[in-house]
């Protein structure tokens, strides 16, 4: 946990650890995309390439015992929380070794032992679940908080309005984190959200709302730490909006006809990995050390894919059983 | 005094179950609209707020999908929420969280979580509430795996079943009934639990009448009325609409060879249709007459009481169906 951290107090080791985690997420997603291209995976996935600073920054500022609720674009959240990449990849491949034995897949993966309440395939579906988790934490008088990730698109769901209203009324310990990547699938935020910013909506629920640069992991860490501290202190929920961009399509096979290559290039210059690499360089981490980090991540993912591909798929009993507790 | 019993209203029996479970388990919490000082739209939670306070009885804004979703999240964290949906028609607003969360989480998360959630709601028509406040929507949950559906038909049942539902680790849709709330029934003193998955048989010889919820007392009254005429109905009260107690249904049909299926929901595509299909699949060899179904007409429930009556199943309708299968 990096609570209430400041950029100047972040050690080089901590920043490098954040960078490595972001690299791992990027590599994981790119390798995954390659597996889809080779038809080695069924279904679909929503990659978070470009949004790694959001996952790593928010989760990095949380306690390990704070509960996370994710959405359809959840691989970054899972890996930032420290789930085993092999077991995450196994789940995506439908293997028994996956966190949910292949029953859940990308959008339905949880790890209760790591306080990860699950990714969620219904846009906005996780918002009340995370709010309910916060209600339970308050009921039990614990000082852990719930952190709910969702996108700009989900902020148009009724669950956003209903849940933020109840969370505020009951001063629940929940931090709502909106990763605003500019698009709900193909629909530009400006065409779906009536306010200039998603965070402007916080005022309607009498809670603080802040918008920060989601491409800068240190900014995300600082903003999350500040808001989480307030939430943890019992002052009620808060809404944090992270301005970010997914460099990939919404899911596999998205030709991105709804946006320009120029726009993508502009955002590309703010790539969170490049931003963090520059910070590391300024602090004296040389190119060789950065390259060494990249090499370890590539090697780790090669090993993950090889092991996951070799892992067994569940049998018919596994498919048909376990509907009721 | 476990052997003593007394007459209580169905609604009061629900209240007693909630009261006992709130006292029994500090993780039991009630959630819903107007369940506090007001005591719920039908007075079911009356007195509980004064006794247990706002922490145990959380009154909600009118936000069905999210307060059901919150209950799901809290249940994943180990609480045992009991949610009240004021009228069963309003459950439509919460279907996403029921279908996509409550019913799927235990399976899709590979057993890492349970969702010990009860959603209580009164279905059925009672005297002109109109199209948005009258439907018996039991059919919505047929074919939604992971959800248990229970529809108690009298005061004794509703108390024992609700207590079991609250203690069950699975999400349970607990269908109460506006017409049953003011009906009295004999309820034992002291604690008792009833199994969620067993149909209840009132034995007879000639025709199996399968029913649930408020149609059970209608069918039991008809059984009494027909007895002097030498017609003996075996009434199978389903109790559990999902999963269905297939063996009890089949055993009864195998005994009588004739079956009439009665429900307050629309005839098409619901619990009755499922029972009918199962009987056809498994008992065709013993059927001496075609399966007959009696239910609400496939129309919304109209407001005017005379029109409402025309749409709903009646004792006369059940009687006609019984005659049909006997005279086949």
From chain B, pick out residues whose CB is under 8 angstroms from the CB of A148: none
Res. A251: pLDDT tops 80: yes
Q: How confident is the model at residue A9 (pLDDT cuts 50, 70, 90)?
A: confident
Per-residue pLDDT tens over the stretch A87-107: 999 999 999 999 999 999 999
Q: Do B9 and B62 reside in the same domain of the chain? A: yes
In angstroms, rounded to a whole number, what is the distance separating the alpha carbons of residues A308 and A311? 5
Is residue A2 domain-resident?
Answer: no
Which domain-ending residue is among B162, B188, B214?
A: B188
Reported ipTM: the value is 0.96
Which positions in chain B touch A99 (Cβ < 8 Å)?
Answer: 110, 112
Domain boundary, last residue among B137, B155, B188: B188
Which residues lie below 8 Å from residue A81, measured CB to CB, with a gap of 6+?
A59, A68, A111, A114, A115, A116
The last residue of one of the domains, among B188, B209, B237, is B188
Residue B83 lies in a domain: yes
Task: Count how many pairs of residues, chain A against chain B, have C-beta atoms within 8 Å.
Answer: 133
Same structural domain, B280 and B152:
no
Statement to judge: residues B101 and B215 lie in one domain: no
Which pair of structure tokens corresponds to residue A135? 């209600």
- Yes or no, beta carbons of A100 and B112 under 8 Å apart: yes
B195: in domain = no
- For A129-143, what is each residue's pLDDT tens digit? 999 999 999 999 999
Q: Are residues B18 and B164 in the same domain?
A: yes
Q: Are A325 and B106 inside 8 Å of each other by CB? A: yes
pLDDT tens-digit profile of A28-65? Answer: 999 999 999 999 988 889 999 999 999 999 999 999 99
Which residue from B154, B217, B216, B151 is spatially nearest to B186, judged by alpha carbons?
Answer: B154
Does residue A322 lie in a domain region? no
The total number of structural domains in chain B stands at 2
Residues of A with CB under 8 A from a CB of B: 67, 69, 99-101, 103-104, 108-112, 117-118, 121-122, 125, 127-137, 139, 146, 158-159, 162-163, 165-166, 169-170, 322-325
Do residues B235 and B169 both lie within one domain?
no
* Residues of B carrying an active site annotation: 64, 133
Which residues of B fall below an 8 Å CB-CB distance to A? 29, 55, 58, 60-61, 63, 65-79, 96-97, 100-101, 104-114, 145-146, 148, 169-170
Find the residue in B nearest to A167 (Cα): B70
The phi and psi torsions of B259 (rounded to 5 degrees) equal: -145, 135
Asked if B246 and B313 sit in the same domain, the reply is yes
Domain of residue B160, residue span: 5-188
pLDDT digits (tens, 9 = 90+) for B176-227: 999 999 999 999 999 999 999 999 999 999 999 999 999 999 999 999 999 9
B109: nearest CB among A118, A162, A170: A118
Asked whether residue A323 is assigned to any structural domain, the reply reads no
Domain-located, residue A72: yes
Domain co-membership, B252 together with B112: no
Residues of B in Cβ contact (< 8 Å) with A133: 73-74, 76-77
Assess if residue B194 is contained within a domain: no
Give B14-39 as a 3 state SS string: HHHHHHHHHHHCCCEEEEECCCCCCC
Judge: B67–A166 Cβ closer than 8 Å, yes or no: yes
The CATH number of the domain where B63 resides is what?
3.40.50.970
CATH, residue B254: 3.40.50.920
State whether B17 and B128 are in the same domain: yes
Two tokens, residue B36: 């506090």
Domain presence at residue A143: yes
Q: Do residues B129 and B181 share a domain?
A: yes
Is B193 within a domain?
no
B239 and B311 housed in the same domain: yes
CATH code of the domain containing A129: 3.40.50.970
Q: In what order do the strands lie in the sheet with B28-32?
A: B57-59, B28-32, B80-84, B118-123, B172-177, B148-150, B240-242
Structural domain includes residue A83: yes
Which residues form the domain of A238?
7-38+45-309
- Asked if residues A5 and A225 have their Cβ atoms less than 8 Å apart, the reply is yes
- Pick the residue of B54, B99, B110 with the most A CBs within 10 A to test the interface with A by mutation: B110
Provide, as residue numbers in chain A, all residues whose Cβ is less than 8 Å from the Cβ of B66: 127-128, 131, 158-159, 162-163, 166
Q: Does residue B295 sit in the same domain as residue B158?
A: no
> Do B207 and B292 fall into the same domain?
yes
The reply to whether A22 falls in a domain is yes
Per-residue pLDDT, averaged over B81-97, amounts to 97
Looking at the structure of chain A, the number of domains it has is 1
């Amino acid at each position: 946990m990096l609570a209430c951290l400041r950029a100047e107090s972040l050690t080089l080791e901590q920043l490098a650890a954040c960078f490595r985690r972001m690299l791992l997420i990027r590599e994981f997603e790119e390798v995954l995309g390659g597996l889809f291209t080779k038809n080695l995976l069924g279904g679909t996935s929503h990659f978070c390439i470009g949004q790694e600073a959001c996952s790593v920054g928010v989760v990095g500022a949380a306690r390990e015992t704070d509960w996370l609720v994710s959405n359809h674009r959840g691989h970054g959240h899972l890996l930032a929380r420290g789930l085993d990449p092999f077991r995450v990849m196994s789940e995506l491949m439908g293997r028994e070794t996956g966190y949910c034995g292949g029953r859940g897949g990308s959008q339905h993966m949880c790890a209760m032992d790591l306080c990860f309440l699950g990714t969620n395939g219904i846009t906005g579906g996780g918002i009340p679940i995370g709010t309910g988790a916060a209600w339970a934490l308050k009921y039990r008088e614990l000082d852990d908080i719930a952190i709910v990730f969702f996108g700009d698109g989900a902020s148009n769901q009724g669950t956003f309005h209903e849940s933020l209203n109840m969370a505020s009324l009951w001063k629940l310990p929940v931090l709502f984190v909106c990763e605003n990547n500019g698009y709900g699938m193909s629909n530009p935020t400006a065409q779906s959200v009536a306010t200039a910013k998603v965070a402007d909506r916080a005022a309607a629920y009498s809670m603080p709302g802040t918008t920060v640069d989601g491409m800068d992991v240190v900014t995300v860490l600082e903003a999350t730490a500040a808001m989480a501290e307030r939430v943890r202190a019992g002052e009620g929920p808060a809404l944090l909006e992270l301005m970010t961009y997914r460099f990939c399509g919404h899911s596999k096979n998205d030709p991105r006809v709804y946006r320009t290559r120029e726009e993508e290039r502009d955002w590309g210059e703010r790539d969170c990995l490049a931003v963090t690499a520059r910070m590391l360089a300024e602090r004296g981490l040389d190119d060789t050390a950065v390259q060494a980090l990249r090499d370890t991540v590539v090697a780790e993912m090669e090993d993950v894919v090889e092991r996951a591909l070799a892992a067994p798929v569940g049998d018919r009993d596994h498919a048909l059983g376990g509907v009721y507790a | 005094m476990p052997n003593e019993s007394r007459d209580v209203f169905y609604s009061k029996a629900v209240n007693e179950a909630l009261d006992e479970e709130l006292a029994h388990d500090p993780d039991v919490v009630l959630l819903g609209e107007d369940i506090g000082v007001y005591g719920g739209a039908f007075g079911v939670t009356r007195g509980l707020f004064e006794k247990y306070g706002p922490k145990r009885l959380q009154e909600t804004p009118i936000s069905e999908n999210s307060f059901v979703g919150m209950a799901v999240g809290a249940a994943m964290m180990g609480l045992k929420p009991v949610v009240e949906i004021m009228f069963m028609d309003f459950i439509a607003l919460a279907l996403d969280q029921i279908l996509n969360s409550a019913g799927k989480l235990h399976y899709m998360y590979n057993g890492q979580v349970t969702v010990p959630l009860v959603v209580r709601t009164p279905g059925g028509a009672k005297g002109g509430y109109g199209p948005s406040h009258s439907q018996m929507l039991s059919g919505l949950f047929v074919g939604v795996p992971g959800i248990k559906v229970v529809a108690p038909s009298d005061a004794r049942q509703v108390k024992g079943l609700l207590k079991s539902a609250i203690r069950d680790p699975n999400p349970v849709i607990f269908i109460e009934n506006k017409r049953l709330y003011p009906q009295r029934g004999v309820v034992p003193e002291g604690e008792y639990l009833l199994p969620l998955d067993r149909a209840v048989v009132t034995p007879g010889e000639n025709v199996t009448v399968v029913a649930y919820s408020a149609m059970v007392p209608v069918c039991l009254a008809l059984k009494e009325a027909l007895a002097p005429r030498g017609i003996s109905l075996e009434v199978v009260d389903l109790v559990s609409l999902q999963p269905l107690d297939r063996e009890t249904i089949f055993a009864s049909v195998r005994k009588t060879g004739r079956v009439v299926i009665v429900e307050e929901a629309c005839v098409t595509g619901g619990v009755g249709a499922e029972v009918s299909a199962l009987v056809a699949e498994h008992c065709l060899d013993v059927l001496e007459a075609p399966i007959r179904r009696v239910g609400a007409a496939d129309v919304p429930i109209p407001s005017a009481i005379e029109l409402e009556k025309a749409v709903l199943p009646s004792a006369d309708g059940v009687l006609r169906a019984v005659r049909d299968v006997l005279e086949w």
